[in-house]
Every structure is written in C-alpha cells, then in structure tokens.
Amino acid sequence: MSKEHPTKAVRVAIQRPLYKLLDYACDVDIQPKPGCRVKVSLGNSVITGIIVETDVESEFATLKPIIELIDESPVIDEKLMGLLHWSSSYYFHPLGEVLFHALPVDLRKGKSVPKVEIWNATSAGLELPKDELKRAPKQQAMLDYVIQKDGADANNLKQLLGDNWRNTSRELIKKELIAIEEIDPQKLTAPATHVFSVNPPHQLTEEQQQCLTDIDAHFNEPKLRPILLHGITGSGKTEVYLSVIAPILKAKKQVLVLIPEIGLTPQLLSRFRQYFPDSNIDCLHSGLADGERTRVWLGAKTGSIDIVIGTRSAVFTPLLNPGMILIDEEHDASFKQQEGFLYQGRDMAIKRAHDLGIPILLGSATPSLESLYNVEKERYHYLRLNNRPGASNPPDIALQDIRTLPLDAGISSLMMTDIRQHLDNNNQVMLFLNRRGFAPVLMCQDCGWHAVCSHCDMGMTYHASMGKVICHHCGYEERVKSTCPDCNSTKLTTQGQGTERIEEVLNTHFPETPVIRIDRDSTSRKGSLEEKLELVNSGEPVILIGTQMLTKGHDFPKLTLVGILDVDQALFSMDYRAHERLAQQVLQVAGRAGRGAAKGKVILQTSQPQHPMLLSLLSQGYANTAQQILNERKLWNYPPLGCQALVRVNALDLQLAHNFISTLGADLAAINSEKVMLLGPMPSPLARRAKRYRFQLLISAEKRGDLHGFLHSVLSIISKIRKTGGVRWVIDVDPVDFL
C-alpha cells in the first residue's frame, strides 16, 4: 500500500496470538499514551487493546477509529513496557498476550481502574466522646487510626484489622463517624508518609551480620550485580532478608519479594508483618479473587503497598518507587511458567532489576546451576551462610542400602526402628516420598492387565481412599471395579507405593501416634494445610508424610528424623537436570530435620548406595556436587553453558502432528546452520497426553544470539506451514521440562 496519504495513527496490541500490532485512527481530541488501554473494533467484535506506540505513520490508507480510550494514564508504565517488549521477543511470544498477562484479570477485560478509597473521619467522628465505642474495640481502633493517619486506605485497614475489616468499616459508616472518599488514582499525591519501624525478633549472628555488611557494600557499588545468597537450610536467610529490606523501606521505597508456588506465602507474610509492623505488606498468589488482585496491583502502583510478596507472575507488578527485588528459593522450578506465555520469572526479575537500576538478591540453600554458573562468570556476587544459629547443627545424611533389608511398603525395618526411637524420645518424624496416591500401578495377577489412561497411554495411579485410578498427567479418573476388566479375575493387586499407602502402613505400625499426610490430595480443602501444620507445630510426637509440598521453608523444631524413601528412579533419569533436582530435593528435605535443640538425623533409603552423585552429595556437600554436575554439563554444552529451545507440536490426530513437525524439521535441517544443533523431530517423552499426540524438536546453540536468530527462522517457517486439524505448536525458550 502506498504512503501517499499518511494517517496519524496509534499502534495497538491485542490479546490474540498475533505476532503483529494493529493500527487505529485516533481522534484529535483524545490523548493516547503508550500503556493506556483502548476499546477497538476487530472484525465485528469490540475488544480491549493496549497502545504500544503513538504518532505512527500507518501503511494502511484507511484505519478503523479507536472507539474509546479507557485509561487517562498508562496501566503499564514505560519501564515495565520495555521489560514486556523484551520478554516478548526473548520468549517469542506475541506482545499482546505478554502485555495482557502483566495485568490483573479485571483490567484485561477492560474494566476501568478502580478508584482509590480513602477512609476519613467525619466531624462527628472527630468529636466523638472518649468512651462512646467502649464496647466496640475494633471500631475504636479503626477510628483512632483513621484520625491519627488523617485518611487511611484499604491496605492500611486490612493490615490493622485483618480480613474482616470491611465489617468494622461498615458499622462506623452506618454511625456516620467515618466516610469513604473516592479518589482517582491518577490524581493521588505521593503516598501518605508513614511511620516506619522494625521489630527485631533477635540479634543477627556474627555470620549473618557479616553477610549483611557484604550485601550493603555490594548494593552501593556503582555497577550493581545480582547477589546470590547461598545459605544452608536453617542458616537464617529470612533474618538476613529482613535486615536487608529495612533500609530500603526506611528510604520509602518498595520491595518486591518473589517466592515459589508452595503455599508458603502465609508464613512469610506473617514473618514480614511481625518484623515491619508499620509497613503495608500484601501478597499476590493464585488463590486470590480478581478484585483482591486488582486492589494489590493498584496499591503497589500507587505506592501505598511497601512490600509485595508474590509468586512468579508478581514479577510484573507495577511499582511506584521500586527499591529492590528479592527472590527466595531461587532454584525452584515453579518460577518457570509452564503454559501459555512460557517465561522464567527469576530471569525476568533479574532483567527488571537491571533495567530499574535497583539491587536484586537471590537466596537458596541449593542454588540453581544457572546461578552458580553466573557466579563463576562473575556476573553475580556470591555470599554464603554456612552455619545454623545457636547450638543446632545441620543433620548428617546416612545412606541406607535397602537391597539387603526387609521392606514394608518400601519402608525398611531399620527405618521403622529409628522412627520408633525418635517418637519414644518425644520427637517428630517426617517421611518424604514424591508420589501421591496409594500405588503407581494397579494390575491383574492373572492376565497382567494394568490400569492405563485412555487419554495418555500412561499408567494410572491407584487412590485407595477415593476408590479410583487417576492419571497424574491429565487428571482423567475411573472408578476401580473389584474384577479385572480384561479377564474378570478378582486377583487385582498393586505395585509400588505412594503417600497414601505409607500413611496406612504407619497407622498400623504406630496406632498411638497421629500420622499426618501432606500432599495435593490431602490439602485440597481450603484451610486443611493450615490445620495440619498447626498439629505439627503443637510439638506433639507425630509422623509426617509428604511430597515436595513439605520440602521447603517449613520450620518444625521438634522434627528430628527425616526419612527419604525413593530416590532411585531419579538417579537413572534420561533428563540431564535430574541430578541437579535430586540433589536440591534431598538437601531441602534433609534441612527440615534438627532445627530445634536436638540434633537431626536423615536417612536416605536407596538400592544404589555406591552412586557417585549420592556419595558426592553426602561427603562433599551441595556446592561441590553442583560444581561436578556443572562440569558434566560443560562437556556436553548443556545449559547453563549452551542454550536451548524446544518446539513442541501436538494434535488429536497422530498423522497431522507428525506431518507438521516433519515438514518443520526438514525445512530447518535444510538451513544447515553450523551454529545450531537440531535434535529430532521425535515423539515427546510423554507421547500422548490428554488425547493429543505430541512431538518435539530440540534446538541447541552455544551462543544465545545464534539460537535467537534461528528461532526467527522457525517462526517464519511455521507461519508458512498450513495448520490443518487443529495442530497446536509452542516455542519453549530455556525449557526446563522435557515431558
């Protein structure tokens, strides 16, 4: 199209898998800014878009007009827009979807940004006689607070009064002692100066103090680098975090804290609230209602929230005065988003901190090889905490050769004796088994039939408590009948064990001791995890059985024995990351033991007591073992040395999926680049999942630039292949999961 009639236009991103932006005409009387949302027409429907660029010369002669400008000021500020742009191109994901991903659901749907509500005392409230609210202490507290602060917002009040604060507010409004004023967030002045104080729980140890001094020094270097804090389990990383954060808050800046998705939010939140009693602290996690999410988003954006604690997606929270970013358990796999927009939250955070010029601290007892490699390359500072405060020492891990021991449901007789002993000493015991359900195999003794998922072609796990077999890959479930579906035999039996079966066996062995199972099945009801944790925290002798839910962050002082039941399959996994993950998991679980006065003991059952990785982990510790694994990766140029991307294709029809990936594979092979290596196309390790046939193609390169360039070719080839029969494809940059 010609450029003879250039049009003043804006460029808009929409929430569609579309690798381009659309131009719209803009009325002269509206003032579009990048980052503002608009309503536009697309085809015959009206959708929400986000302005990316203004004053563009469109190559289209005629443009549809913008229907409405939703925001006067941007919902995505310039800095955040830059980060999102960057991640869109780094992860080869359409910009529109990336931008919308960074907004709370309400705003994605086009709802206007809510007004900020400010609670003020009315004149009646200001003049209220002293004892009038004597029988309503909460109302009195709220009224006093609002008067003292000269206007409080929802975040202040929630913090002051807890989750039911709206009820208190409603009563005071009914009595006309307090009124709500609605303010346009754009017209909000700088956040009300708030009192800052710290409530230190106890002194830092000498080692923690030294660490803090080092961090402060690094934060003040002209060229900021991320800091990796490698502190053994129980070394008090949280105490260091709190001390690091304090001066940032004191300077009236905000702190973003990212944590894994394992329900640790409440513990950390209360720890932070206790330490910073006058700061506004809020969480962002998957369990939040849409409205609540928007409230926290707005609170962070307007500066009324000082600390945002959140999981992966919180990395995109807007901040008025960003002061620093903290990532706890930085090695955790849940920082990688596994569907839709496939990004690494930890890497995004590092990029964001860099762009903002603010410090970032990564903490872990078992740092990822990626981070350790960055230390080696001197891109990160490295600090260590090697000791547990007080008398407590890290537990020793003992390997137990189970080949010669009698087993009951996978628990050795020696382990049973140890459990008995620790319980008799009034202590608590924890067993770790990363497999939920009763048994991974349900089979017929007569004909060899076993339960297989009809959607995935993989074995289904038997869940005795529900009387079902469940596919752990797609969730498909079936009721279990008393006879074999193939031969009608009644000799159905199970093989192997999951947490349910362990629970049952322990209940019969230790009928007088409560057995607490913590896995996704036993904690799905809201509040049930809290109930169970409370029982453990009572300090009574109990046996805990859990999956990886139980591995991180928990502090059970009476826990002295940890048993790790089944690590053998991870030792021989095809996945080159299996050893790294196993080492992390073993140390994280082991770290739950001996956090109180009594020394902890950890027993690791294995049929491979000579395995070099296990021996190394036990005798040389994590840092050395990680270094060895890293050296192996160097030999093969696996990440974090080289870099990878995975193209995944799936379809309901095997042939269609196969045709697609073969065409792509052939076209890419024809490029014959020396800089990249192709592995595949091949069936995915999980070749069928949820009725869809799956193939993949792994692309490796030594240099990121080469990989990136090659992925452009991938994208352009894919766009030329005709996609029939609903073939779906994704590009996964820096994949962590090859399933």
- What's the min distance (Å) between Cβ of 720 and DNA? 9
Query: Residue 502 is encoded by which pair of tokens?
Result: 């362990």
Contact between 2 and DNA per CB under 7 A: no
Among 403, 249, 260, which Cα is nearest to 330's?
A: 260
* Shortest distance (Å) from residue 60 CB to DNA: 5
Residue closer to DNA by CB (options 63, 535) is: 63
Q: Indicate whether 724 belongs to the interface with DNA (CB under 7 A).
A: yes
In the bound complex, what is the minimum distance in angstroms from residue 43's beta carbon to DNA? Answer: 5
In the bound state with DNA, the residue whose beta carbon lies nearer, of 67 and 141, is 67
- At 322 the three-state DSSP class reads strand
Applying CB under 7 A, among 126, 725, 737, 739 the residue interacting with DNA is 725
Interacting residue with DNA among 2, 44, 482, 610 (CB under 7 A): 44
> Using the rule CB under 7 A, is 728 a contact of DNA?
yes
Return the closest-CA partner of residue 228 out of 120, 348, 36, 368: 368
Cβ 93 to DNA, closest distance in Å? 12
Question: Is residue 654 near DNA by the rule CB under 7 A?
Answer: no
Our finding on whether 335 is near DNA (CB under 7 A) is no
Residue (of 163, 106, 161) closest to 283 by Cα position: 163
What is the DSSP secondary structure assignment for residue 365, as one 8-state letter?
A: S
Question: Distances from the Cα of 317 to the Cαs of 5, 255, 671, in angstroms?
Answer: 41, 11, 41
Residue list for the binding site for Zn(2+)? 444, 447, 453, 456, 471, 474, 484, 487
Annotated binding site: 444, 447, 453, 456, 471, 474, 484, 487
Token pair belonging to 696: 């993949």
Nearer CB in complex with DNA: 63/192: 63
Contact segment (CB under 7 A) with DNA among 512-520, 541-549, 669-677, 716-724 equals 716-724
Pairing assessment for the beta strands 178-183 and 227-231 based on DSSP bridges: unpaired
Select from 330-338, 459-467, 674-682, 722-730 the region that touches DNA (CB under 7 A). 722-730
Under rule CB under 7 A, residue 414 binds DNA:
no
Rg (CA), the chain: 28
Among 5, 20, 481, 675, binds DNA (CB under 7 A): 20
Region of 19-27, 72-80, 147-155, 257-265 interacting with DNA (CB under 7 A):
19-27
Closest contact distance (angstroms) between CB of 728 and DNA is 7
At residue 624, what are phi and psi to the nearest 5 degrees? -70, -40
d(CA 42, CA 617): 58
Q: Does 495 bind DNA (CB under 7 A)?
A: no
Q: How far is the CB of 652 from DNA (least distance, A)?
A: 11
Contact 627, 640 (CB under 8 A): no
Cβ neighbourhood burial of 173 (10 Å; 0-12, 13-18, 19+) = middle
Among 25, 183, 447, 690, contact with DNA (rule: CB under 7 A): 25
Shortest separation between residue 675's beta carbon and DNA, angstroms: 29
Cα–Cα distance between 342 and 702 in angstroms, integer?
A: 21
Q: Which two tokens stand for residue 36?
A: 């503002």
Q: How far apart are CA 237 and CA 243, in angstroms?
A: 10
264 secondary structure, DSSP code: -
Distances (CA, A) of 549 to 406, 432, 487, 533, 540: 28, 10, 39, 12, 21
Widest CA span in the chain: 89
**Residue window 50-89: x/- pattern of binding to DNA, with contact defined by CB under 7 A:** --------x-x--xx-------------------------
Q: Which residues bind DNA (CB under 7 A)?
A: 16-18, 20-25, 40-45, 58, 60, 63-64, 722-726, 728
